[in-house]
Structure 1
C-alpha cells in the first residue's frame, strides 16, 4: 500500500494547511472552508496523475487535436459533515464524477469511550470504478473503515484512494491493515504523530466540522 504525505514536499499546499491549523486564521469560517477546498483541488490534480489515459480526437474550429484524457469512472465519497468542502474541492477538478455521501458519527459511552455509527449512505454502484473516499481528518481510522464497509454494499471498486488532509500515524497504520493493500493508495496533506485521550489528532487543528460550519450541541 502506498502512502503519499504531501508535507514532505515543498508546495503551496503547505501554505493552506498552515492556515487551517492556525488558531488566528481559523476564526474566519469562509477562509477555512475555501482553504479546505483548495487543498482538495491540489490533491485531486495529484491523484489524476495515477489514472489510466488514452488519446481522444477533439474537433477544433481548424482541425482535429489529439488529447490524452483519463478513462477512469470515478466515484467520490465523503463523510458528512466536515468532508463537504473537501469533497467540493475534489469534485471541482473531477466534475464528471459520481458522488456518494456517508453519515458517520461518534456515539460516546462516556467522555473518552465511543462507538462509531453509520446512519446514512447515498451512493451509486461502485463496481470496477475508481473510489475516492475522503475525510479531512483521520484520527483513529474507524470512521473511514466503517464508511468503506458501507460503500461495499454498492459493489467492489477496482481501486481505492483514501484522501485526507491531516491524519494520525495510528489512523494510517489502521487503514493499511483493513483496506486492500494491492489497490489502495492513501493521500494526506500531513501526518501527525499521535492522538490524545479524546481521540483528537495532535497537533491537528481541532474539530474541522465546527470550524467550517459552527459548533453543534
Structure 2
C-alpha cells in the first residue's frame, strides 16, 4: 500500500482553516471542495491513458486520452458527498457510484446501508472519497466491497488520516490489491472515542450540520 501525503503550502493553508472550529459551514464546504481538487491532482497521477492522434492548427501530433472503461469515483455517504465536486472537476468523464456507510459510535465498526455501484468493476480504477481515515474500519469495508466486485486498483482520497487507521488498512487490504491512500496530512493519534487528534471534528456535521 502506498500512502501519499500532499506537501504543498496551499494544502497546508486550507487545511489549517478547516481545522479552526470558528470556520462556518459555508466556508468549510468551499475549502473542502478546493482542497480535494488539489489532492485529486496527485491521486490521479497514475490514471490510465491511451495514445491518441490529433491535429492541431499547425500539425499532426500524438497526445493522451483517458482509457476505457473510465474511472469510477465513489463517495462514502454522507461526508464523502462534500468531496465529490472537487474530484469530478479533474475527472469529469468518470462515472460516480455511491456507498452509504455509518460507524457505530460505541463499537466503532462500520455498516453498509446503501450502495449504487456497477455489478462488475473488473478493469476499473476506483477512487474512494471520504474526509476522515480514523480507525480504518469504514475504508477497509469499502475497499473490500470494491474488491469483491472485481476491482484491483483502488485509490482513497481523504483529508486527514490517523496512523492507526493507515496501519489497519495496510494490514487488512494493502496486500490484496493495488491500494493507494492520498491525504493532506497524517495526524498524531486517535482519542478514546476514535476521533483523529488534532483533527477537525466530525466532517459530516461541519459540512451539513448535525441533522
Q: Distance in 2 between matches of 1:12 and 1:150?
A: 33
1:3 offset after TM fit, Å? 0.9
Which residue pairs with 1:149 in the alignment? Answer: 144
**Structure 1 spans left out of the alignment, 5+ residues:** none
Q: Distance in 1 between matches of 2:156 and 2:76?
A: 12
Contact 1:45-1:93 within 8 A present in 2 as well: yes
**Any idea what the Cα deviations from partners look like across 1:89-109, whole Å, max 9, x if unmatched?**
11111011111111111234x
Across the two proteins, how many residue pairs are aligned to each other?
208
Runs of 4+ in 1 over 3 A off after TM superposition: 59-65, 112-115
1:60 offset after TM fit, Å? 4.4
Alignment of 1:127 with 2:125, yes or no, is no
Alignment of 1:186 with 2:184, yes or no, is no
Q: TM-score, normalised by structure 1?
A: 0.88
Which residue pairs with 2:134 in the alignment? Answer: 139
Question: For the aligned residues, what is the CA RMSD?
Answer: 1.9
1:63 offset after TM fit, Å? 4.9
Contact 1:121-1:150 within 8 A present in 2 as well: no
Pairing 1:3-152 to 2, within 5 Å after superposition: 3-6=3-6, 9-25=7-23, 27=24, 29-60=25-56, 63-71=59-67, 73-108=70-105, 112-124=106-118, 125-152=120-147
Q: TM-score, normalised by structure 2?
A: 0.90
Alignment of 1:176 with 2:192, yes or no, is no
**Any idea what the Cα deviations from partners look like across 1:87-133, whole Å, max 9, x if unmatched?**
2211111011111111111234xxx4343211011012311110111
